[in-house]
């Protein structure tokens, strides 16, 4: 399978070759042909599968390579909704990269930065608008944006937008879009009933696509657990980072914890920064840029802030805390070992967390090597026996809202991603306050 056979315009093929992409990923191969035909899409795919290109390429093809409208209206023709500012910025970057030979006019609209530059960009005229729902509604209210010419609507990470409480905003935004002559492409890692309902209400006979992932990511990732007392975790982290100079993404559970950890690392002479919902947009953008360029060696992140971060071939992820929901382990680790590269996923696990570790092992359906680091041996061993019924962590787990969410389609393989992210919207120390839009 090649990009040529998918029917993309030559200008896009050229940009893809320049990006070094040689063949479409499974989600691209499945989504691009029906998207080019103008069908609605309901696509199940996680970050790391190439989903951004799966919608950006047909979007650019439709807008720029087909028959252009006579006098291009100043109002945007395509809208991409994303849950977070970072994801919006990354989608924008991808659209620009893939559309570099097409004269693309695209802009992002998200909260945490001034309204005025966005108003001016809209006034100058854009064709592709990448936005988070909250800030877009602000623009709708003050009439600085006109959505009546939207031909393509893309909902990226729809499950996360719903988890973050954006459903009412999305419905309001949908009310401002034309109902006729519009295609809608919805991408989501999981398909809760609310997402199916949204699709049924706003889409026309969508083509359903499901791509197996991301447990397969684990194939190139080595998982390792270091049992350690909670009070010794910081010292162990420093020990590990001092012994391994590779770029590392460290996950903490709370914003406060991530900040504190980044400070401790900096004081120990490591180039570190934290990224989470309480940081200003500028701080987040700078931290990500510095991390990508290698100026910062360690980025400490919370789950929501890290979701969708497009960091290529990250060699190492360290879970300073285990995530409260096992599926988040898969999301965290999805950042390493991409595209066949080797990755290392280390988790520092105290005995209070052994119930979470058992959940993760069950989800991954594989054993994880447990190795104490000399000098950091825990005072209590981890209990990894699955039959153990008394689970000290149980009270900390979010209530299980849905037993198991169904998947769409069936070409992904049985144990793809067990899917159900039984999460609660306000997980992770009130991340919702971060007001991503």
Among 6, 36, 41, 49, interactor with ligand AMP by CB under 6 A: 49
Smallest distance, Å, CB 82 to ligand AMP?
Answer: 11
Q: Build a one-symbol-per-residue string for 17-36: x at contacts with ligand AMP by CB under 6 A, - elsewhere.
A: ----x--xx--x--------
Nearer to ligand AMP, 51 or 232 (CB): 51
* Piece of the chain touching ligand AMP by CB under 6 A; list 50-58, 161-169, 238-246, 425-433: 50-58
118 phi, psi to nearest 5 deg: -70, -40
Binding mask 211-250 for ligand AMP (x = CB under 6 A): ----------------------------------------
Distance (Å) of CA 340 to CA 195, 221, 315: 31, 9, 11
Contact by Cβ (8 Å): 307, 331: yes
Collapsing DSSP states into helix, strand and coil, what is residue 253?
coil
Q: Which of 1, 128, 5, 107 is nearest to 60 (CA)?
A: 128
Footprint (CB under 6 A) of ligand AMP, residues 262-301: none
Q: How far is the CB of 317 from ligand AMP (least distance, A)?
A: 15
Contacting range for ligand AMP; rule: CB under 6 A; set: 44-52, 188-196, 354-362, 364-372: 44-52
Helix (H) or strand (E) holding 42: strand 41-44
Residue from 26, 44, 50, 76 that binds ligand AMP (CB under 6 A)? 50
Q: What is the largest CA-CA distance in the chain?
A: 73
Q: How far apart are CA 414 and CA 394, in angstroms?
A: 28
Name the minimum Å distance from CB 167 to ligand AMP.
23
The piece of 51-59, 113-121, 252-260, 411-419 that touches ligand AMP (CB under 6 A) is: 51-59
Distance CA 333, CA 331 (A): 6
d(CA 47, CA 41): 17
Which 297-356 residues touch ligand AMP, going by CB under 6 A?
310, 312, 339
In this structure, the number of other CB atoms found within 10 A of the CB of residue 17 comes to: 11
Q: Which of 52, 82, 210, 350 binds ligand AMP (CB under 6 A)?
A: 52
Structure tokens given for 158 = 């729809």
CB of 150 to ligand AMP, least distance (A): 22
- Write out the two tokens for 218: 């684990």
Phi, psi at 50, each rounded to 5°: 90, 25
255 binds ligand AMP (CB under 6 A): no
Is omega for the bond preceding 353 within 30 degrees of 0, making it cis? Answer: no
By CB under 6 A, name the binding residues for ligand AMP: 21, 24-25, 28, 47-53, 310, 312, 339
């Amino acid at each position: 399978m090649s990009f040529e056979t998918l029917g993309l315009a030559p200008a896009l093929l050229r940009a893809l070759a320049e990006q070094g992409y040689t063949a479409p990923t499974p989600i691209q191969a499945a989504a691009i042909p029906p998207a080019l035909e103008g069908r609605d899409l309901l696509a199940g795919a996680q970050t790391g599968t190439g989903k951004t290109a799966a919608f950006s390429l047909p979007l650019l093809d439709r807008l720029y390579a087909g028959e252009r409208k006579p006098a291009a209206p100043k109002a945007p023709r395509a809208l991409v909704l994303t849950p977070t500012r970072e994801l919006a910025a990354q989608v924008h970057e991808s659209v620009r990269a893939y559309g570099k030979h097409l004269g693309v006019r695209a802009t992002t609209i998200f909260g945490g930065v001034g309204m005025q530059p966005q108003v001016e960009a809209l006034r100058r005229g854009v064709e592709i608008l990448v936005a988070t729902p909250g800030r877009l509604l602000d623009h709708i209210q003050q009439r600085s944006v006109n959505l009546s010419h939207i031909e393509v609507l893309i909902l990226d990470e729809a499950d996360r937008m719903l988890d973050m409480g954006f459903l009412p905003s999305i419905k309001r935004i949908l009310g401002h879009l034309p109902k006729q002559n519009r295609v809608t492409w919805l991408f989501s890692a999981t398909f809760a009933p609310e997402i199916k309902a949204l699709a049924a209400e706003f889409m026309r006979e969508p083509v359903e696509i499901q791509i197996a992932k991301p447990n397969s990511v684990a194939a190139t990732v080595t998982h390792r657990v270091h049992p350690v007392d909670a009070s010794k975790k910081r010292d162990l982290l420093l020990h590990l980072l001092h012994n391994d100079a590779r770029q590392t993404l460290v996950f903490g559970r709370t914003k406060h914890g991530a900040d504190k950890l980044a400070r401790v690392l900096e004081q120990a002479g490591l180039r570190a920064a934290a990224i989470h919902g309480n940081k200003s947009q500028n701080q987040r953008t700078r931290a990500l840029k510095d991390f990508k360029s290698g100026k910062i060696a360690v980025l400490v992140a919370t789950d929501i802030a890290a979701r969708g971060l497009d960091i290529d071939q990250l060699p190492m992820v360290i879970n300073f805390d285990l995530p409260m929901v096992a599926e988040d382990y898969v999301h965290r680790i999805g950042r390493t070992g991409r595209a066949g590269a080797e990755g290392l996923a280390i988790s520092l696990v105290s005995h209070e967390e052994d119930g979470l570790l058992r959940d993760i092992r069950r989800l991954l359906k594989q054993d994880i090597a447990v190795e104490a680091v000399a000098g950091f041996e825990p005072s209590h061993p981890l209990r990894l026996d699955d039959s153990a019924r008394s689970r000290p962590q149980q009270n900390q787990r979010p209530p299980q809202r849905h037993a198991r969410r169904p998947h769409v389609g069936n070409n992904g393989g049985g144990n793809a991603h067990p899917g159900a992210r039984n999460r609660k919207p306000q997980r992770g120390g009130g991340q919702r306050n971060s007001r991503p839009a």
